[in-house]
């Protein structure tokens, strides 16, 4: 089967317009010789006639010319010489075979096809002329009577040659058109590929020249691009002895702590889970190594149909900025610490002054205002100090088995009087929770911040609910209020330092935006999570979640 197809392919190459003159002629000579041999089996006398031998002679000359001459160096018109000689040979043989002259005449179509293929309409014209002169004219000359029958029959062969030739020329023209189209399409494609390669190189140079780490993932979360800055970050965060870790194996921690980020909190994972976020702080690599805190931002990539096609995550090194902020924090801590002692003394003396008998009402009201503001100042100083201590990571958590439900009850009790004064109902919906490793006083401070906010941002007549419950492997504590609530946009920045919502500022509700960021840090230090759900005008729910496992990730540093 293989041999047959290889022969077919070879013959196809010879007879195609691309085949060279020598191989075409050898092919035609082989056909003519085969024909001669077959005839000589029964009519050897025909073959031995002068005319047949002359035909073979012409064929021999044509074949010799085809092999010897370098046709590609001559003008194309010379290409007609060998086919015309072949036609002469056919005409001579045909002349001998009177009985079956039409059948022999068909042999002439082979050189006609070659000429039409090579010289197009010129070839067809030469072929028609040659057939008329070599075959049609002699037939007419030999006819007994020249009438319409003989004329029509003699013109039949030139007519068929004309038709076949035109068919070949037409088909080749069509092929040429397709070939040109294909060539121009290929050229265009090559140019596009070249342009794509150039812009890819440009993009690579640009993203490699920026100082921020860039990683692009496809919709399944596989890396498709990582610039050199990101490769360095990858290297820093690789665990020791692992040169090619997967994303899940990289050492990523909550900023400034040794607490590892849970899998669904890792920046790339969050992006793969279709989150878009900005300035998400993470520390990478072994704890205590300088220059390793990054702000990550993620955006989703959409394809041309607007469907999600992956995500890009950018990491910028904020270590020096954080170091600067830390030194400012140390300064603020020192100042607030120093403020506490004189303020406590001022408050003490103000209280003594307020206790003075027969104080004029006007002076009493001045002292009242001074006392309230001094208290407020002391509160701010204390909060600032607590916040700075928590940020500096110097305060160790003292972890002991404790129930979150007990903390909730304690906090509700602490705030009962204030709630009553503010006309807010506090509902305690506490289900006893299992013991966890907690620093009770610090967590009490965190839950206290939430309850204090709930009371502060809920108008009189509202309700605040403190709830604990056990869910699967988690222990949950929720503080829900029916207060002013927050928009989605306000919630996005809620745990950022010194952030206050516009609603809170517009309503002149006192506060300084420290409580929630401090609360978040305390919760995270316990290996927990904090989240919020809120609607403007309807209220808010803050939820703390802790894994039931005691080794929930807490490292004991707030």
Site for ligand ADP, rule CB under 6 A: 449, 453-454, 457, 481, 483-486, 494, 499-501, 504, 511-517, 540
CB of 459 to ligand ADP, least distance (A): 11
Give the nearest distance from C-beta 196 to ligand ADP in angstroms: 49
Supply the minimum distance, in Å, between the C-beta of residue 333 and ligand ADP. 18
- Provide the minimum distance between the beta carbon of 252 and ligand ADP in the complex, in angstroms, as a whole number: 26
Q: Are 430 and 408 in contact (CB under 8 A)?
A: yes
Strand order in the sheet with 308-317: 223-226, 213-218, 308-317, 293-302, 277-284, 252-253
Please say which residue, 304 or 508, places its beta carbon nearer to ligand ADP.
508
List the structure tokens of 436.
């966890």
Please state, in angstroms and rounded to a whole number, the distance separating the CA atoms of residues 174 and 177.
5
* CB closer to ligand ADP, 32 vs 514: 514
Residue of closest CB approach to ligand ADP: 511
Q: What's the closest the beta carbon of residue 463 comes to ligand ADP, in angstroms? A: 12
Q: How far is the CB of 472 from ligand ADP (least distance, A)?
A: 26
Distance separating alpha carbons of residues 552 and 558, to the nearest angstrom: 15
Q: CB-wise, 396 or 512, nearer to ligand ADP?
A: 512
For residue 192, the minimal CB distance to ligand ADP (Å) is 53
Rank residues 399 and 446 by Cβ distance to ligand ADP and give the closer one: 446
Minimum CB distance to ligand ADP smaller for 512 or for 549: 512
SS3 content of the chain, % helix, strand, coil (to 5): 60, 15, 25
Q: How many alpha carbons fall within 13 Å on the CB side of residue 185? A: 6
Q: Closest approach of Cβ 456 to ligand ADP, in Å? A: 6
Nearer to ligand ADP, 230 or 517 (CB): 517
Could you tell me the smallest distance in angstroms from the CB atom of residue 541 to ligand ADP?
9
Q: Which is nearer to ligand ADP, 46 or 532 (CB)?
A: 532
Count of positions (residues) in the chain: 558
How many other CB atoms sit within 10 Å of the CB of residue 421?
Answer: 10
User: Residue holding tokens 């040794």?
Assistant: 258
**Quick one: tokens of 333?**
């801590």
Determine phi and psi for 403, rounding to 5 degrees.
-100, 135
The token duo for 78 is 């010379």
CA–CA separation, 224 and 272 (whole Å): 13
Shortest distance, position 500 Cβ to ligand ADP, whole Å: 3
Residue nearer to ligand ADP on the CB measure, 258 or 491? 491
Residues linked to residue 308 through DSSP beta bridges, in sequence order:
302
Cβ nearer to ligand ADP, comparing 123 with 515: 515
Coil vs helix vs strand at 41: helix
The residue among 309 and 497 lying less far from ligand ADP, judged by its C-beta, is 497
- Identify the CA nearest to 159 among candidates 184, 136, 183, 187: 136
Are 249 and 242 in contact, with CB atoms under 8 Å apart? yes
Q: In angstroms, how far is CA 238 from the centroid of its own chain?
A: 24
Give the residue among 435, 421, 426 at the shortest CA–CA distance from 463: 426
Cβ proximity to ligand ADP: between 393 and 511 the closer is 511
437 or 480: CB nearest ligand ADP: 480
Q: State the minimum distance, in angstroms, from the CB of residue 245 to ligand ADP.
A: 37
Q: Shortest approach of ligand ADP to residue 524 CB, angstroms? A: 15
Closest CA to 558 of 144, 141, 254: 254
On whether the CB atoms of residues 267 and 232 are closer than 8 A, the answer is no
Could you tell me the smallest distance in angstroms from the CB atom of residue 286 to ligand ADP? 32
Q: How many whole angstroms separate alpha carbon 35 and alpha carbon 148? A: 33
Q: Strand locations in 104-222, DSSP E? A: 213-218
Give 21-30's long-range contacts (Cβ < 8 A, gap of 24+). Answer: 21/66, 21/69, 21/71, 21/79, 21/82, 22/66, 22/67, 24/66, 24/114, 25/62, 25/63, 25/66, 25/67, 25/82, 25/86, 26/63, 26/66, 26/67, 28/86, 28/110, 28/111, 29/59, 29/62, 29/63
Nearer to ligand ADP, 25 or 482 (CB): 482
Nearest-approach distance from CB 483 to ligand ADP, in angstroms: 5
Q: Token pair 């046709």 is at which residue?
A: 71
CA angle at 470 for the pair 468 and 473, rounded to the nearest 5°: 140
Nearer to ligand ADP, 272 or 386 (CB): 386
What would you report as the CA-atom Rg of the chain, rounded to the nearest whole angstrom?
Answer: 49
């Amino acid at each position: 089967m293989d041999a047959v197809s290889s022969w077919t392919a070879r013959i196809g190459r010879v007879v195609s317009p691309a085949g060279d003159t020598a191989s075409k002629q050898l092919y035609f000579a082989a056909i003519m010789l085969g024909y001669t041999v077959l005839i000589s089996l029964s009519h050897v006398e025909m073959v031995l006639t002068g005319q047949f031998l002359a035909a073979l002679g012409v064929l021999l000359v044509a074949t010799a010319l085809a092999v010897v001459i370098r046709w590609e160096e001559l003008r194309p018109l010379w290409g007609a010489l060998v086919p015309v000689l072949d036609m002469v040979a056919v005409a001579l043989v045909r002349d001998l075979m009177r009985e079956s002259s039409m059948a022999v005449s068909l042999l002439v179509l082979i050189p006609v096809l070659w000429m039409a293929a090579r010289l197009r309409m010129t070839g067809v014209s030469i072929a028609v002329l040659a057939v008329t002169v070599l075959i049609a004219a002699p037939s007419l000359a030999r006819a007994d009577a020249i009438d319409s029958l003989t004329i029509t029959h003699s013109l039949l062969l030139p007519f068929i040659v004309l038709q076949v030739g035109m068919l070949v020329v037409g088909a080749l023209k069509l092929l040429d058109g397709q070939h040109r189209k294909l060539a121009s399409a290929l050229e265009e494609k090559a140019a596009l590929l070249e342009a794509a390669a150039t812009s890819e190189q440009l993009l690579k140079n640009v993203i490699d020249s920026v100082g921020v780490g860039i990683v692009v993932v496809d919709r399944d979360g596989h890396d498709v691009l990582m610039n050199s800055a990101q490769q360095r970050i990858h290297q820093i965060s690789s665990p020791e002895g692992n040169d090619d870790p997967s994303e899940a194996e990289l050492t990523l921690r909550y900023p400034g702590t040794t607490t590892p980020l849970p899998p669904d909190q890792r920046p790339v994972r969050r992006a793969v889970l279709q989150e878009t976020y900005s300035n998400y702080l993470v520390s990478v690599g072994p704890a205590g190594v300088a220059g390793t805190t990054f702000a990550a931002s993620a955006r989703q990539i959409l394809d041309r149909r607007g469907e999600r096609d992956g995500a890009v995550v950018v990491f910028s090194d904020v270590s020096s900025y954080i170091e600067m902020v830390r030194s400012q924090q140390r300064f603020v801590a020192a100042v607030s610490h120093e403020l506490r002692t004189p303020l406590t003394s001022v408050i003490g003396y103000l209280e003594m002054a307020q206790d003075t008998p027969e104080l004029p009402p006007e002076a009493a009201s001045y002292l009242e205002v001074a006392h309230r503001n001094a208290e407020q100042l002391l509160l701010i100083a204390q909060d600032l100090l607590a916040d700075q201590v928590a940020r500096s990571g110097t305060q160790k958590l003292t972890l002991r088995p404790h129930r979150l439900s007990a903390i909730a009850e304690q906090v509700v009790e602490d705030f009962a009087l204030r709630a009553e004064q503010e006309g807010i109902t506090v509902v305690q919906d506490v289900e006893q929770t299992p013991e966890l490793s907690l620093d009770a006083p610090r967590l009490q401070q965190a839950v206290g911040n939430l309850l204090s906010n709930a009371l502060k941002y809920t108008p009189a007549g509202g309700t605040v609910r403190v709830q604990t419950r056990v869910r699967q492997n988690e222990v949950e504590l929720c503080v829900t209020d029916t207060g002013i609530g927050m928009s989605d946009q306000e919630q996005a920045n809620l745990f950022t330092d010194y952030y206050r919502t516009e609603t809170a500022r517009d309503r002149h509700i006192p506060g300084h935006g420290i409580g929630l960021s401090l609360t978040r840090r305390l919760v995270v230090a316990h290996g927990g999570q904090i989240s919020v759900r809120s609607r403007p005008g309807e209220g808010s729910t803050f939820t703390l979640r802790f894994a039931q496992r005691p080794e929930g990730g807490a490292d004991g540093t707030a």
